[in-house]
Each structure stands twice: as structure tokens, then as C-alpha cells.
């Protein structure tokens, strides 16, 4: 009995003392990384700007005196990202903690030259960063964006992270990518990926914008897509959540074009490659839209015929938008809609043949677009201009 | 057998040998009541030497007041108006006797009382002096007569007892208010009043040591598990030669695991709770001089129930029970969870909350474990101080405590506001556990859990919980598995564990049907 007790006490003691202490750190011993910016430094190595959360000094009154800014930026330079990260404590004195990182910004130049796969390898492999971290490609120097004072949020990283999500959610003007989605896209058969594009507005004070998409081919930046085209692309990708659609008024001179707008409430896209066996690829796109009237400036929808006519105009507009986008993509020879993946899924044998010259084949693809619109409601007023 | 052997041996050797004196019944020198009154008086006076509360009153009676007697009683235990039993007992005789009162002789007295003729009042005939002394101490008036080697005892206890009041430790919003008092007879009476059934048995034990406390235990025959009852009776026999001042003494003597932090029995001071548990087949133990009723065997899930669960509507009672389960886990695990997450797994906290916590933790000199232990210790200290203090001073303690713990500790930089919230929440949660002794177990277990969390994070909490579960699964109360009806899993009884099923369903349980049969 006595031996059993001693044995149990020893076991408990060893369990408690000898295990699991390796990642022990109190909260004040850690520096929480909110976001990072990756740039090319002058000598060709990687310049890492890390935005850390700076807690307000809590001693004294409840909550303490608020610090001037709730973040600090630390810049380290080294040949690889991981070595640059290990250099952070040299400046900061605290071990960086990566699990709450909101955003990774990569500068356009770095993305063009070194490729995302190489830069982001660390974030896929290490256990602390999450795969749900947002990623963006920035115009100009990436670290510049982290220096800008946030408008409402605690840190710029948080602000950019949220603008990325809400821009994709509410207007469809950019895509919403995180490390996981990006990884899946880069690992897919086609290997093309879309990343939100970040730029500064031209007027001062400079305000950050997240709109448009950077196009990545094999992990390297090849071009940037305009926000309006991203909207149509999102529709093709079945990733569109909600947004506004501008409808030009008919019978108007090109100079002073009046616009009406509708909100897309519900949509469904079917994208089907047909004629797989033949040399030329044909894609059938069927889009179903349900819209609500938001702004009317010239149309009157009083009869069923009016409504049908109005729906037709919308259909035409959407068709036009999508056609512009696909034409642009075809011109760029960039398969952003993952058509190749669909071909691979339907006919893997054929894809093996096609994969080599997929880009030219994509450029020759015919898009057969079919749009169906239903006007669902007219808001809180009747279906003609209020004034 | 060995007992008899030793008895025989001791008798054959020497009467005064120490061995033989151990047992009361084997005392060959039990002093009989002498037929000489003066001898008895002398003996009693020696026994009650320096007991100023003893009153000895000599009397004369019979023809020409020739015969003498004396009554002896403890002044402080007797109802004053009835102390003159001598006269009454003699008058009793007169009604039976042909002659007048003045003609009564000691022969008459011995004759009539020994043949139980004259007992209009309940007189007990006492044969030996030890018994007489016991009776005196229990509040009897004992009367010795000349030329009679027996004495008469009259029960005349008249000690003031507390009135039946509302339960202080188990208040309810709805339901009976009645709670027990310190008087065993009154308590048993209240139980019997609620359970008018001959199957409700009440057995009595009197301890033989200094205090000579009366202990009673009751059970409902037909509902109680015979094995449990037999085991209980075997164990309760152990209290015979012990001094019992409170029911908890008995708990400790009969319980299975003395060192376990978990109470294996339940207490109540509400008669309705006692009756409900009797109907469920439990055994209740009452002790003279204390109001707490011991209910055994106690199971873990029962410790989370309150009598009010059965008085409220079923949906409400079930929801409240679930809240209690949450409270249970908060009171045992919240501080350790905070320690574990903040020192090992900050990635588990939502970002915005984390930033708020980081802000509040900045500049706190201690690790989270130490901070938590300090604050929990403060809280325990405060609680203990609050209980022991007289009521007028108590409010002062709570003011100081609230200031020290809530305000000053934060401004002084000893603790973070989030820690204060956690300590407060833990405290409140432990108040939500209806059984006080179970809540204490949670309070105590919290500390090792915090250490485990501080050393090993969530992994450590898991180990600690596993150890606790192992212990619970191993624990028994009067031979019954402590975790039942969860382990062993008894599906039929589960409807009264996490939720309180409607009475219509609860009453349909086979145990109750089985119980109704014998009472027909």
C-alpha cells in the first residue's frame, strides 16, 4: 500500500515536472504579430516588416493609459523569411507569437521576382500561423502600408484584413483569399491563383484600398485585374456574394450616360465545358440572377412587359460585362476561372494532352453566355423613379 | 468468542483486573440499589459530588410520616411545575388502594409498582444505581423509597428548545419552509408527520461513552435496498462507544473513503428533503442535539440536486439543473483553463479578446498561475473570514474585501481585471452548487488543477480531470457506486439526472410501484 502511494506520487511528480513546458510563456513575454509586410531589400534579401500589437501599460488605473499607437513596426532583413523572423527578438525583446496574424502583405516586386510559394513556405510549414491568414499583394512598397495609421481599428493589419473580407462580401470587387485557398489554387492543375490587390489612393491623406485582384501564375505575379472585372470573374467563379450592378440608360448619348443600379440578391452560375473531344473548347455559362431595384433614373416598370424589358437590359449588361472579362482573360492567356481544373475533372486523359498548351487553348475557348434575370422587388417604393 | 473467554478468565482470576472492567456488562460490581435509604442517598451524593445542578429532596410519608423517601433530579433539565412526582405517584396508589393516603407503606409501593398496577403515569422501575444515575442525567426524576431495593423514574424533561424556523442553509422560494431543530424527538415527529406509513422504521442507538448521545436512523422498508441497509447497520454499530456531537461525526465513521475530497453523503435540515430521500430508498440519520440530517448513501449526481427542482415546473427545473452543471465546471475549472490558455495556448482566444487580455495583463509582475493562486487565496480567505465573524463585523469584511480584491489589487498591479472577473465568476459558480460540502470539494480541487494547468497547460487539465474521474469511478458510498446512474449506466434513472422529468414519468419508476405494494 505504502509503495503504491509512493509510486503514484512519483508518477504524478514526473508528469507535472518533466512534461510539456517547451512553449510556456506568459502573455507579457510574447509579442503578438498582427501583420507582416514582405519587401525586396536593396541587396536582394528579404525585408520583413512585422507589425506587433503594443499593449497599453496596464499598471495603475483600470486599463491603463492608452499608448500613442497600439502597434509598432519592426523591420528585419535576412536571406530567408524564417531567419528574418528569428531576428525580431533582437529588436523587440519578446518572442513573436504568430497565431493571431491577420494579414501578409507581399510587395508587387517581390511577388513578381521570387514567387509566393518560396516566400510563404514558412507560413505553411510552421505550426503557429493559421492557414486562415489573409494574404494580399501590394502596389509599391509593402511596408509602407503598415506605417499608415488605421482609421478605426487598432492596427492597420486589422483594418486591411477586414476591408479585404468586406470588400469581397459586399461589393465583389476583390477576392477573399487566405493561405489555405491560395495553397489549393497554386496546387491545382492549372496552378493560377487570385490574390486581393492593395493600393493607396492618390489623393492625400493616403487611404488604403483593397480592390481588384493580382494574378499569380505558378506563384509569380503576372498581372493585376481591375475591380470591375473582378466582379464578373467572381460571378463566373460562383464566389460572388452580393453587390451592385450598374445599368446604363438606353437612348442616351454616350457623353452624359445616366446609370441605374440594381442589387444582386441571389445568383447561381453553371459553368460547363462542352465539346471536350474536339480541338476547340466551348464553355457554356448559365447565370441566373435575382435582383432588387436600388436606383432608378430613367426606367419605369409598370407592366409585366416593362419588367421583362428591364430584365433584358440587365441581362445584356451582365453578358457584356462577363464577355469583357473573359476576353481580357483570354488576351492575357490566364485561366482564372479554373477551367482547366474542370477539364481535368471531366476527362483526365484529355487534360494530359492539353496541359502543355493549355494557355493557348484557353485563349481560343469560346464562351457561350446565357443570363437569366428576375426582378424580385423594387425596394420600399413603386417601380419608377421616385422623383 | 474471545470476549467470553476473556470474561471467564477474568472472573476466574481477579475481579478487579483491568481487562474485566473494560466491559460495562461484565462489571461484577454493579451496585444494586440498597434497601436502606441512607445507603442509596450516600451513594448518590458521592456520585454527584460537586454537581450543583443536582437536587436531592427527602420526603416523609405513610402513617405518622414514619417512612422516608427522597427524590433526586437535575434541576436544570426539569419542567418546574412537575417536579413533585412523589405526591402524584402516591396519589396514584391511593386511587387503587382501599386505605387513605396516609396509610401507604413501602410494601404497598413495592407491590403495586412491581406489578404495574399503579402506573397511571409512566413510571419506570430502576433496578441498579448506574441506571438510576443515567436516568437522572437524562432528565428523569428518580425516587428512592426506604425498604425497597428499587427506585422509580419519571420522565420529566423540560428543557427549552429552539422553535421550528425557516431553513437557513437551504432556503427555497417555493416549498415547505420547515427545518429541523436540535431536539431529536421533535425532528422525528416532524418526519413521522410527513410519512404516515408503518414501513417507515426508526431505530435508535444510544452511545455509551461520555456524552451518551441518542442517535436515530430511519428508513422506509420496501424502498430501501436490503444490502445497503445491512451494510449501514454493520457500520453504524461502530459509533456505539464514541462521543457523537454532530451528525458529521457519524458520516466520517461510516463513510467509505475518509480522505476523498468528495462528500459521500448528503446533509439536509429540511424535513421534506429527508422524506423525499426516504422514498428514494435512502437511510436518514438524526442525532440528538443537532439539526442536520445525514442522508446515505449519497451519489454525486444527487449532490447537484435541490429540493426545489421538484417544486418547480419541469422545464424550468431542468434548465436550472443544466446551469448547475455549467456552474460545477466553472467552479472547478475556470481559473485553470484561463491559466492554461493564456500561458500555453494563446491561439485559442479570439483575436480581439486576446488583445484586450494582453492589454490588461501588461505590467502584472506574476505569472498567470501565481496571480490566479494569489487571487483565489484572497477570495478563500475573505470567504472564511466572512463566515466566522459575528454578523455586525461581517459587512465590514465584505467592504474591505471588495475593495482589496476588486479595486486595489488591480491598481496596485498585483492582478489583472480579467483575473478578478474569473475569480468572481468562480466564486459565484461555487455558490450555485446546492450542497455546501460538495461546493467545498470543488473549492479545494481547484488549486491542484491550477497547478496542473500552470505546469502543463490544457494537457495538464486533462490529466487532472482524468485523475478526478478515476477517483470518482472508484468511489463508493455504502458499497454503492458513487457515479451511478452514470457509471454504471442505468438508463431508467437518467431522467432525473441532467433534467428533471415530469412527475408523471418519475413516479412510474418500478421502485415506486414496488414500494406501494407492502403498504396496502
Among A178, A149, A148, smallest CA distance to A161 is for: A178
Contact by Cβ (8 Å): A95, A29: yes
**What interhelical angle do B226-236 and B247-254 show, nearest 10?**
110
Strand partners, A77: A47
- Distance between CA atoms of residues A363 and A328, nearest Å: 10
- Distance between CA atoms of residues B286 and B214, nearest Å: 9
Expressed in angstroms, the distance from the first to the final Cα of chain A is 93
The pLDDT value recorded for residue A149 is: 87
Residue B433 has pLDDT above 50, yes or no: yes
- In chain B, whose CA is at the least distance from the CA of A20? B456
- Distance between CA atoms of residues A5 and A290, nearest Å: 73
Residue A61 has pLDDT above 50, yes or no: no
**A chain contacts of residue B455, beta-carbon cutoff 8 Å:** 16-17, 19-21
Q: Is the peptide bond before B20 cis (omega within 30 degrees of 0)?
A: no
A154/B359 CB distance under 8 A: no
Q: Residue B24 — pLDDT band, cuts 50, 70, 90?
A: very low
Residue B96 has pLDDT above 70, yes or no: no
User: 3-class SS at B517?
Assistant: coil
The cell for A36 is 507582416
- Distance between CA atoms of residues A381 and A99, nearest Å: 49
What ipTM is given for this predicted complex? 0.83
Contact by Cβ (8 Å): A276, A346: yes
Entry field: residues in chain A? 387
Q: Distance of CA B32 to CAs A41, A70, B27, B125, Å?
A: 113, 94, 12, 13
Q: What is the distance in angstroms between the Cα of A12 and the nearest Cα belonging to chain B? A: 10
Domain at A227-387: CATH code = 3.30.300.210
The residue among A82 and A62 whose pLDDT is bigger is A82
**B chain contacts of residue A23, beta-carbon cutoff 8 Å:** 344
**A chain contacts of residue B368, beta-carbon cutoff 8 Å:** 26-27
The pLDDT value recorded for residue B425 is: 93
DSSP for B38-73, written as a single string = HHHHHHHHHHTTT-TTEEEEEEEESGGG-EEEEEEE
A63/B360 CB distance under 8 A: yes
A172 Ramachandran zone, left/alpha/beta (phi>0; psi -120 to 50): left
> Residues B150-155: what's their mean pLDDT?
82
> Residues B100-104: what's their mean pLDDT?
64
The single-letter DSSP state of residue B310 is G
The residue among B77 and B231 whose pLDDT is bigger is B231
- In chain B, whose CA is at the least distance from the CA of A25? B343
B411/A26 CB distance under 8 A: no
DSSP for A196-214, written as a single string = EEEEE-SSSS--EEEEEEE
- Distance between CA atoms of residues A181 and A203, nearest Å: 33
- The CA radius of gyration of chain A, in Å to the nearest whole number, is 26
Instruction: Name the strand (E) or helix (H) holding A295.
Output: strand A282-295
Interface-testing mutation among A13, A19, A26, with chain B (most B C-beta atoms within 10 A): A26
The pLDDT value recorded for residue B1 is: 46
State the CB neighbour count (10 A cutoff) for residue A198. 28
Q: What is the distance in angstroms between the Cα of A23 and the nearest Cα belonging to chain B? A: 6
A25/B362 CB distance under 8 A: no
The segment(s) of chain A belonging to CATH 3.30.300.210 are 227-387
A250-259, A370-379, B340-349, range with the lowest pLDDT: A250-259
Q: What is the distance in angstroms between the Cα of B353 and the nearest Cα belonging to chain A? A: 11
The pLDDT value recorded for residue B232 is: 93
Contact by Cβ (8 Å): B415, B375: yes
Expressed in angstroms, the distance from the first to the final Cα of chain B is 43
A16/B411 CB distance under 8 A: no
Q: Which range scores top for mean pLDDT: A49-58, B43-52, B96-105?
A: B43-52
> Residues B252-281: what's their mean pLDDT?
91
Contact by Cβ (8 Å): B204, B239: no
Name, in order, each residue with C-beta under 8 angstroms of A155's C-beta and a sequence gap of 6 or more.
Answer: A34, A35, A51, A53, A70, A71, A102
The pLDDT value recorded for residue B201 is: 92
- CB burial string B183-222: b at 16+ within 10 A, e below: bbebbbebbeebeebeebeeeebebeeeeebbbbbbbbeb
The pLDDT value recorded for residue B26 is: 42
The pLDDT tens digits for A327-364 are 999 888 888 888 888 889 888 888 888 888 888 888 88
> Residues B420-439: what's their mean pLDDT?
90
- In chain A, whose CA is at the least distance from the CA of B350? A100
- Distance between CA atoms of residues B134 and B131, nearest Å: 5
> Residues B439-456: what's their mean pLDDT?
91
A21/B452 CB distance under 8 A: no
- In chain B, whose CA is at the least distance from the CA of A31? B358
> Residues A91-115: what's their mean pLDDT?
89
- Which strands form B54-61's sheet, in the order they lie side by side? B54-61, B67-74, B140-145, B151-155, B123-126
Q: Is A19 on the interface with B (CB under 8 A)?
A: yes
Long-range contacts of the stretch A166-170 (C-beta < 8 A, 24+): A167/A196, A167/A210, A167/A211, A168/A196, A168/A234, A168/A241, A169/A241, A169/A242, A170/A241, A170/A242, A170/A243
User: 3-class SS at B502?
Assistant: coil
CA angle A258, A259, A262 (to 5 degrees): 160
Q: What is the distance in angstroms between the Cα of A3 and the nearest Cα belonging to chain B? A: 18
The pLDDT value recorded for residue B141 is: 84
The pLDDT tens digits for B474-484 are 999 988 899 98
DSSP for B163-185, written as a single string = PP-B-SSS--SSS--BB--S-HH
Residue A387 has pLDDT above 80, yes or no: no
- Distance between CA atoms of residues A135 and A201, nearest Å: 20
Q: Is A60 on the interface with B (CB under 8 A)?
A: yes
The alpha carbon torsion through B161, B165, B170, B176 (nearest 10 deg) reads 130
Average per-residue pLDDT in chain B? 82
Residue A45 has pLDDT above 60, yes or no: yes
% of chain B residues with pLDDT over 90: 28
Strand partners, A286: A270, A370
The pLDDT value recorded for residue B518 is: 44
B413/A154 CB distance under 8 A: no
- In chain A, whose CA is at the least distance from the CA of B340? A24
Please say whether the dihedral angle defined by the alpha carbons of residues B340, B345, B346 and B351, taken in this order, is positive or negative: negative
B359/A61 CB distance under 8 A: no
- Distance between CA atoms of residues B503 and B85, nearest Å: 53
- Distance between CA atoms of residues B322 and A213, nearest Å: 50
Contact by Cβ (8 Å): B422, B334: yes
Residues of B with CB under 8 A from a CB of A: 342-344, 346-347, 351, 354-355, 357-364, 367-368, 410-411, 413, 416-417, 451-452, 455-457, 459-460, 463, 467
Q: Residue A209 — pLDDT band, cuts 50, 70, 90?
A: confident
Q: Residue B9 — pLDDT band, cuts 50, 70, 90?
A: low
The pLDDT value recorded for residue A381 is: 78
Phi, psi of A16 (to 5 degrees): -70, -45
> Residues A45-71: what's their mean pLDDT?
72
User: 3-class SS at B268?
Assistant: strand
DSSP for A223-265, written as a single string = EEE-HHHHHHHHHHTT----EEEEEEPSS--STT--EEEEEEE
The pLDDT value recorded for residue A19 is: 66
Residue B6 has pLDDT above 60, yes or no: no
The pLDDT tens digits for B386-417 are 888 887 887 888 788 777 777 888 888 888 88
B368/A30 CB distance under 8 A: no
Name, in order, each residue with C-beta under 8 angstroms of B399's C-beta and a sequence gap of 6 or more.
Answer: none
- In chain A, whose CA is at the least distance from the CA of B415? A59
Name, in order, each residue with C-beta under 8 angstroms of A68's C-beta and a sequence gap of 6 or more.
Answer: none
Q: What is the distance in angstroms between the Cα of B284 and the nearest Cα belonging to chain A? A: 34
> Residues B344-352: what's their mean pLDDT?
90
- In chain B, whose CA is at the least distance from the CA of A54? B359
Q: Is the peptide bond before B272 cis (omega within 30 degrees of 0)?
A: no
- Distance between CA atoms of residues B108 and A53, nearest Å: 104
Q: Is A9 on the interface with B (CB under 8 A)?
A: no
Q: How many angstroms separate the most distant Cα atoms in chain B?
A: 105
Q: Residue B121 — pLDDT band, cuts 50, 70, 90?
A: low
A35-44, B17-26, B115-124, B489-498, range with the lowest pLDDT: B17-26
The pLDDT value recorded for residue B19 is: 43
> Residues B206-235: what's their mean pLDDT?
90
Can you point out the beta strands (E) in B402-488? 476-477, 480-481
The residue among A279 and A372 whose pLDDT is bigger is A372
The pLDDT value recorded for residue B85 is: 60
A56/B359 CB distance under 8 A: yes
Q: Distance of CA B183 to CAs B137, B268, B293, B435, B458, Å?
A: 16, 15, 12, 23, 51
- Distance between CA atoms of residues B387 and B381, nearest Å: 10
The pLDDT value recorded for residue A35 is: 92
B360/A58 CB distance under 8 A: yes
The pLDDT tens digits for B302-335 are 888 888 889 989 999 999 999 999 999 999 999 9
Q: Residue B89 — pLDDT band, cuts 50, 70, 90?
A: low
The residue among B139 and B516 whose pLDDT is bigger is B139
Strands B140-145 and B67-74: antiparallel
Interface-testing mutation among A8, A16, A65, with chain B (most B C-beta atoms within 10 A): A16
Nearest Cβ partner for B359 among A25, A30, A63 = A63
B363/A61 CB distance under 8 A: no
A27/B342 CB distance under 8 A: yes
Among B426, B435, B387, smallest CA distance to B405 is for: B426
Amino acid at each position: 500500500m505504502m509503495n503504491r502511494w509512493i509510486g503514484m506520487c512519483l508518477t504524478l511528480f514526473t508528469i507535472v515536472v518533466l512534461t510539456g513546458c517547451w512553449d510556456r510563456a506568459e502573455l507579457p513575454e510574447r509579442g503578438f504579430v498582427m501583420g507582416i509586410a514582405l519587401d525586396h531589400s536593396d541587396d536582394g534579401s528579404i525585408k520583413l516588416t512585422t507589425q506587433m500589437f503594443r499593449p497599453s501599460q496596464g499598471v495603475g488605473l483600470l486599463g491603463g493609459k492608452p499608448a500613442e499607437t497600439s502597434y509598432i513596426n519592426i523591420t528585419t532583413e535576412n536571406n530567408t523569411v524564417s531567419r528574418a523572423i528569428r531576428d525580431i527578438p533582437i529588436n523587440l525583446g519578446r518572442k513573436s507569437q504568430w497565431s493571431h496574424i491577420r494579414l501578409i502583405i507581399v510587395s508587387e516586386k517581390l511577388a513578381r521576382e521570387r514567387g509566393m510559394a518560396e516566400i510563404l513556405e514558412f507560413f505553411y510549414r510552421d505550426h503557429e500561423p493559421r492557414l486562415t491568414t489573409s494574404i494580399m499583394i501590394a502596389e509599391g512598397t509593402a511596408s509602407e502600408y503598415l506605417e499608415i495609421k488605421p482609421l478605426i481599428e487598432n492596427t492597420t493589419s486589422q483594418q486591411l484584413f477586414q476591408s479585404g473580407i468586406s470588400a469581397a462580401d459586399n461589393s465583389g470587387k476583390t477576392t477573399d483569399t487566405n493561405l489555405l485557398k491560395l495553397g489549393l489554387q497554386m496546387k491545382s492543375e492549372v496552378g493560377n491563383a487570385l490574390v486581393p490587390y492593395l493600393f493607396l489612393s492618390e489623393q492625400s491623406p493616403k487611404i488604403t484600398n483593397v480592390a481588384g485582384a493580382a494574378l499569380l501564375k505558378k506563384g509569380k505575379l503576372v498581372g493585376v485585374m481591375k475591380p470591375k472585372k473582378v466582379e464578373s470573374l467572381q460571378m463566373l467563379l460562383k464566389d460572388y456574394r452580393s453587390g451592385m450592378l450598374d445599368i446604363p440608360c438606353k437612348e442616351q448619348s454616350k457623353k452624359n450616360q445616366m446609370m441605374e443600379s440594381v442589387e444582386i440578391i441571389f445568383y447561381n452560375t453553371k459553368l460547363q465545358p462542352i465539346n471536350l473531344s474536339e480541338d476547340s473548347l466551348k464553355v457554356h455559362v448559365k447565370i441566373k440572377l435575382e435582383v432588387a431595384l436600388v436606383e432608378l433614373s430613367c426606367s419605369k416598370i409598370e407592366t409585366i412587359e416593362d419588367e421583362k424589358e428591364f430584365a433584358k437590359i440587365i441581362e445584356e449588361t451582365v453578358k457584356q460585362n462577363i464577355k469583357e472579362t473573359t476576353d481580357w482573360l483570354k488576351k492575357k492567356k490566364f485561366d482564372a476561372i479554373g477551367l482547366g481544373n474542370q477539364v481535368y475533372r471531366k476527362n483526365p486523359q484529355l487534360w494530359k494532352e492539353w496541359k502543355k498548351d493549355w494557355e493557348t487553348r484557353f485563349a481560343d475557348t469560346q464562351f457561350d453566355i446565357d443570363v437569366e434575370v428576375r426582378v424580385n422587388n423594387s425596394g420600399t417604393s413603386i417601380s419608377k423613379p421616385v422623383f | 468468542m474471545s470476549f467470553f473467554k476473556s470474561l471467564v478468565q477474568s472472573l476466574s482470576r481477579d475481579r478487579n483486573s483491568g481487562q474485566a472492567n473494560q466491559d460495562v456488562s461484565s462489571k461484577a460490581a454493579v451496585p444494586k440499589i440498597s434497601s436502606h435509604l441512607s445507603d442509596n442517598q450516600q451513594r448518590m451524593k458521592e456520585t454527584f459530588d460537586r454537581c450543583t445542578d443536582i437536587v436531592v429532596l427527602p420526603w416523609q410519608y405513610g402513617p405518622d410520616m414514619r417512612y422516608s423517601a427522597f427524590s433526586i433530579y437535575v434541576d436544570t433539565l426539569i419542567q418546574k411545575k412537575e417536579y413533585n412526582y412523589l405526591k402524584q405517584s402516591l396519589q396514584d396508589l391511593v386511587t387503587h388502594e382501599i386505605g387513605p393516603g396516609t396509610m401507604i407503606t413501602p410494601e404497598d409501593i413495592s407491590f403495586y409498582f412491581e406489578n404495574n398496577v399503579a402506573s397511571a403515569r409512566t413510571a419506570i422501575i430502576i433496578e441498579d444505581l448506574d441506571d438510576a444515575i443515567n436516568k437522572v442525567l437524562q432528565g428523569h426524576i428518580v425516587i428512592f423509597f426506604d425498604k425497597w431495593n428499587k427506585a422509580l423514574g419519571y420522565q420529566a424533561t423540560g428543557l427549552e428548545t429552539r422553535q421550528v424556523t425557516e431553513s437557513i442553509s437551504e432556503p427555497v422560494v417555493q416549498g415547505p419552509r420547515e427545518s429541523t431543530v436540535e431536539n431529536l424527538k421533535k425532528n422525528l415527529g416532524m418526519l413521522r408527520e410527513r410519512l404516515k406509513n408503518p414501513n417507515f422504521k426508526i431505530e435508535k442507538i444510544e452511545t455509551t461513552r461520555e456524552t451518551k448521545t441518542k442517535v436515530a436512523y430511519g428508513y422506509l422498508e420496501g424502498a430501501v435496498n436490503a444490502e445497503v441497509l445491512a451494510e449501514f447497520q454493520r457500520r453504524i454499530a461502530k459509533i456505539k462507544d464514541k462521543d457523537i456531537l454532530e451528525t458529521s461525526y457519524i458520516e466520517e465513521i461510516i463513510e467509505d473513503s475518509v480522505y476523498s475530497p468528495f462528500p459521500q453523503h448528503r446533509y439536509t435540515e429540511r424535513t421534506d428533503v429527508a422524506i423525499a430521500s426516504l422514498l428514494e430508498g435512502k437511510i436518514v440519520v438524526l442525532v440528538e442535539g443537532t439539526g442536520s440530517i445525514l442522508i446515505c448513501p449519497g451519489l454525486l449526481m444527487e449532490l447537484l440536486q435541490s429540493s426545489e427542482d421538484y417544486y418547480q415546473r419541469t422545464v424550468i427545473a431542468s434548465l436550472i439543473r443544466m446551469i448547475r452543471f455549467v456552474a460545477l465546471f466553472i467552479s472547478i475549472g475556470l481559473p485553470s483553463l484561463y491559466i492554461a490558455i493564456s500561458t500555453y495556448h494563446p491561439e485559442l482566444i479570439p483575436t480581439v479578446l486576446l488583445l484586450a487580455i494582453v492589454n490588461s495583463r501588461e505590467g502584472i509582475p506574476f505569472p498567470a498561475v501565481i496571480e490566479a493562486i494569489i487571487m483565489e487565496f484572497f477570495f478563500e480567505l475573505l470567504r472564511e473570514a466572512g463566515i466566522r465573524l459575528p454578523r455586525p463585523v461581517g459587512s465590514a469584511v465584505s467592504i474591505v474585501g471588495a475593495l482589496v480584491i476588486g479595486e486595489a489589487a488591480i491598481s496596485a498591479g498585483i492582478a489583472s481585471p480579467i483575473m478578478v472577473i474569473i475569480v468572481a465568476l468562480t466564486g459565484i459558480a461555487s455558490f450555485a452548487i446546492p450542497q455546501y460540502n460538495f461546493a467545498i470539494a470543488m473549492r479545494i480541487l481547484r488549486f491542484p488543477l491550477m497547478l496542473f494547468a500552470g505546469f502543463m497547460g490544457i494537457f495538464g487539465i486533462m490529466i487532472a480531470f482524468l485523475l478526478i474521474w478515476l477517483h470518482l469511478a472508484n468511489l463508493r458510498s455504502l458499497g454503492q457506486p458513487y457515479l451511478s446512474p452514470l457509471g454504471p449506466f442505468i438508463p431508467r434513472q437518467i431522467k432525473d439526472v441532467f433534467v428533471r422529468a415530469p412527475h408523471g414519468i418519475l413516479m412510474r419508476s418500478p421502485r415506486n410501484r414496488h414500494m406501494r405494494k407492502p403498504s396496502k
